[in-house]
């Protein structure tokens, strides 16, 4: 196996399982790469033995987590969980772009198809209305993405971004030529390059 990517949750797993074959069709899942779900960014500590096994076998390891509100804190959290020695043998990418705060949903908002961006102005108006009422939680980025998918492609309610009724490869929904994907594509190219014959 060339590389393993450790991700936070099922949505991240689906995203990587959809985009890797889109950009790198020559790679085969379970043969060339694997996605391992942590079930939370603080669960990396439970995977130390697994990380060590992959390293011993010569497999490149990537850890792709949400940067959340602070990239430095997220990097510090990873180091605290797995230690400097193990960290030095892993490649880290913090979503959305390895440079700014955010998460997978931040990246997805930048990948929405240009033809449908006007949908988000409706969400913005809705958010303003909710805020004016007060005492209600506004739409999260995840809720906006779910609503976007629902209004564009389906009459059925999509209850999760890991739902198999849509694909992150769907060109009606996503602009996979977006500059927002370049840092992640380059990161994956580097992972592949590390194990090229």
User: Quick one: what percent of the chain has pLDDT higher than 90?
Assistant: 73
The rounded radius of gyration (Å) of the Cα atoms in the chain is 18
On the question of pLDDT at 96 being above 50, the answer is yes
Q: For 100-155, what is each residue's pLDDT tens digit?
A: 999 999 999 999 999 998 999 998 898 889 889 988 888 889 989 988 888 887 65
pLDDT value for 165: 73
Question: Phi, psi at residue 157, to the nearest 5°?
Answer: -70, 125
Range 123-130, long-range pairs (CB < 8 A, 24+ positions) = 123/147
Tokens found for residue 27:
């790679």
């Amino acid at each position: 196996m060339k590389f393993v990517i450790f991700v936070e949750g099922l949505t991240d797993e689906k995203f990587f399982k959809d985009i890797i074959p889109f950009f790198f069709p020559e790679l085969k899942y379970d043969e060339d790469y694997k996605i391992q779900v942590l079930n939370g960014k603080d669960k990396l500590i439970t995977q130390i033995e697994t990380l060590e096994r992959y390293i011993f076998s010569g497999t490149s390891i990537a850890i792709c987590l949400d940067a959340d509100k602070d990239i430095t804190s997220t990097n510090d959290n990873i180091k605290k969980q797995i230690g400097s020695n193990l960290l030095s043998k892993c490649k880290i990418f913090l979503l959305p772009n390895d440079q700014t705060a955010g998460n997978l949903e931040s990246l997805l908002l930048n990948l929405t198809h240009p033809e449908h961006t006007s949908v988000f102005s409706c969400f913005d108006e809705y958010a303003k209305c909710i805020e004016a009422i007060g005492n209600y939680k506004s739409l999260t980025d995840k809720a906006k993405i779910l609503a976007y998918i629902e209004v564009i492609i389906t009459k059925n309610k999509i209850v999760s971004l890991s739902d198999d009724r849509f694909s992150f490869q769907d060109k009606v929904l996503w602009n996979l030529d977006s500059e927002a994907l370049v840092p992640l594509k380059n990161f994956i190219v580097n992972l592949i390059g590390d194990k090229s014959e």
